[in-house]
Structure 1
Amino acid sequence: MVKKTKKIAVQLLKIIFAVGIIYWLVQSGKLNFSALRNLLTPGILLLAVTITVLNFFLASERWRVLVKSQGIPAKVWSSFKLTLIGQFFNFAMPGGVGGDVIKAYYFTREFPGTKVVAATSVLMDRVLGLYAMIFLALAVMIYDFSHVSHVATLMTLFYFIIALFVVFTVALSLIFSSKIYKTQILKRVINKLPLAEKFMKIYESLHLYGNSIPRIAQVIGISLIAQSTAILFLYMVGVVSGYTDIPAKTYFLVAPLGFMATAIPISPAGVGVGQAAFYFLFNIYTGHSSEVGPTTITAFQVCSFVVSLSGAFFYMRYKRPNDMSAAADMA
């Protein structure tokens, strides 16, 4: 009972936090919902929904490639439905059982005996997706280094992104390395940690994904394409909303950093955090105050929520009375 009450309290705090940031942005004039009115035309709405569905589908395929690398014959349509369910719960239950856990749970219902694969696949999916974001941000900053080098804050971000890229690259190399695995160097280190048994299971499960490096490269490639579709969405919203003075390369720099901020689990689906992060990043990069950041990410989140509602339909078709408690136990 205490555990359940704590989860509800944490969820409420996250919602209050998100609402508080949105309220502050609106009251201070940093988020202007009227700029989104230009999107309310049939052609633009259809394009926005199409891009969002494509983004979700690419995310689904990225996860499916990881699952297939473990010898499980996951189907395209089935994986896409589970991804939509996960997206829905990212909005609906951010403080308790997250979307990834729900997706993994229903995956184990389709493929009994794959609990470890389900759990590690969603974890590896998130890790490689984040790694691709870091890579894209670093690549764009290097491409536009002449501008980045003249802004102190951007240079700080540049060094931070380099550090993240190095840490992720080294960590993934150690996890995937067959030589390291055979020498049991990491295993000896893990055995000295608290909860060593659980960490050992995670390490051994994640190591298996390194047996197919081409598939890992494919997953990163799909991630980069998926991020490009999200950036295309943001750019389209910016242009339609009247922010035509901001070049496309700015979106390619800001978006990966902004999406990394929304991945921090302190608000429902990154709502509020995304608005603040995109506002800050766009202003730093362009050198002047603008509403383009909060406007574009708000449009993306609203459209993502609308599309994710289809996940609620598929969830109701899957749902059994004890599903949520079983998923909570899996978490």
Structure 2
Amino acid sequence: MDRVSLKKTLLALLKFAVPAGILTYLIRDLVVNHGAELQQIQDSPKNWALLSLAFVLAMTALICTFLRWRLLVIALQMPFRITDALRLGFLGFLFNFVGAGSVGGDLFKAIFIAREYPENRAAAFATVIVDRMIGLYALLVVTSLATLAIDRSIADTAMLTVLNVIYGLTIVGGLGVIMILLPGFTRGSVSEFLRSLPKVGPKIGQVIDAVRLYRRQPLVLTLIAVMSLSIHCLFAMSCYCIACGLFSEAPSLLEHLVIVPLSMVFAALPIAPGGMGTFELAMNYLYQHVPTPPAAEGYGTIVALGYRVITILMALVGVVYYWLYRKEVGVLMHEAEEEQEHPHPEKEYVDIPTECSTANE
């Protein structure tokens, strides 16, 4: 095994070892220290209607993320069927969830669009970049707004630090959005300097190109922003339904609008595939620090594991698509791996005319 292959293998093992270690610790803590509570939950009646609603809400939110990406694609006058958006969306979710090889779901989706529209290859990658950026920033906005309900006078030092970091990231992100929407940022010396940076320059260049592509379509960006905020609220409502379906007493919906988005911010860190382990760890901590009075110990982990079961069920849809289109998926996976190892040289910017475009930016 050569050095590059060994490095990739070790990174892949580490990617799964971290979440496996976290989940093992949390589950062991539940069994050893909260066995009585687990037995009580097991013996108590479940509200299956609420648990089913939790699945429906999460699935609705996930499908909305696929439709959001489709909007970004068709906004650039690249025809894209809803059925294709759903198929690629579920496959991408599956690959992000299981960390298939070295290929993530975002790259897989971008490669598909690039194959369909090779003359607009840069635009294809831009749709995925913008979709990810909007989703992450909307998550920060929802978290910041919801955490305003937290009583800072009773929050501990660690919680205050987390809140301050979230507020800081949201403000910096907002200023960044305002700045990059100004025409002078994407054209001129600043843009050229950022593009010339070693290693990160090409990636920054793709982001700059993405901004150029969408700046002239404020209605599309507004609709997508509203969808993104709604998506994160739906995920929070899903976890709230899980808690109410399992426990006789659970934190309020408002408290879940704080706990769940904040946990998802932590899960978005590139530590584990699909936020596995990191999401559960954050939920376990926040269940003890956000609700008043604090939830019973271990409840956060149980709700997070319940949500994890739902994500596994949703990923199974991707497994079905994989089985039905395994030949096409295999070709795309090979191209995605080639793209990672030998990135295709992109043109700096291809201007795509739109109905909303104007002569000048």
TM-score scaled by length of structure 1:
0.89
Match of 1:311 in 2: 318
**1:67-94 deviations in whole A, cap 9, x for unaligned?**
2222222222211111000011112225
Match of 2:308 in 1: 301
How far residue 192 of structure 1 moved from its aligned partner, in angstroms, is 5.0
| Alignment RMSD | 2.6
**Amino acid in structure 1 at the alignment position of 2:97:** F
1:125 to 111, 131, 147: 131
Identity of aligned residues (%): 23
**Amino acid in structure 1 at the alignment position of 2:229:** L
Contact preservation (8 Å) 2:47, 2:245 = no
Give, in whole Å, the separation in 2 of the partners of 1:238 and 1:229.
Answer: 14
**1:272-331 deviations in whole A, cap 9, x for unaligned?**
111111111221213645222222222222211212222122234433454322111223
Give, in whole Å, the separation in 1 of the partners of 2:95 and 2:43.
Answer: 27
Give, in whole Å, the separation in 2 of the partners of 1:263 and 1:70.
Answer: 28
1:82 equivalent in alignment to 2:91: no
Contact preservation (8 Å) 2:243, 2:250 = no
How far residue 25 of structure 1 moved from its aligned partner, in angstroms, is 0.9
Match of 2:107 in 1: 101
1:324 equivalent in alignment to 2:330: no
Aligned CA distance change for structure 1 residues 189 and 109 (closer, same or farther; 3 Å): closer
Match of 2:14 in 1: 13
Q: Which has the higher helix share?
A: 1
Moved more, 92-101 or 109-118: 109-118
Give, in whole Å, the separation in 1 of the partners of 2:34 and 2:174.
Answer: 37
Contact preservation (8 Å) 1:275, 1:298 = yes
How far residue 247 of structure 1 moved from its aligned partner, in angstroms, is 1.3
Show the 5 A alignment for 1:262-301.
262-286=267-291, 288=294, 290-301=297-308
How far residue 243 of structure 1 moved from its aligned partner, in angstroms, is 5.4
Moved more, 80-89 or 120-129: 120-129
Show the 5 A alignment for 1:1-331.
1-29=2-30, 35=41, 43-44=49-50, 46-93=52-99, 96-142=102-148, 144-145=149-150, 147-153=151-157, 154-182=159-187, 184-195=188-199, 196=201, 199-242=204-247, 244-286=249-291, 288=294, 290-318=297-325, 319-320=327-328, 321-331=330-340
**1:32-88 deviations in whole A, cap 9, x for unaligned?**
776478797764554333223211111111111222222222222211111000011
Give, in whole Å, the separation in 2 of the partners of 1:209 and 1:12.
Answer: 38
Aligned residues: 328
Aligned CA distance change for structure 1 residues 17 and 180 (closer, same or farther; 3 Å): closer
Aligned CA distance change for structure 1 residues 285 and 128 (closer, same or farther; 3 Å): same
TM-score scaled by length of structure 2:
0.82
List alignment gaps of at least 5 residues for structure 2. 341-361
List alignment gaps of at least 5 residues for structure 1. none
Moved more, 158-167 or 316-325: 316-325
Q: Secondary structure at the match of 1:148?
A: coil
Give, in whole Å, the separation in 2 of the partners of 1:22 and 1:106.
Answer: 34
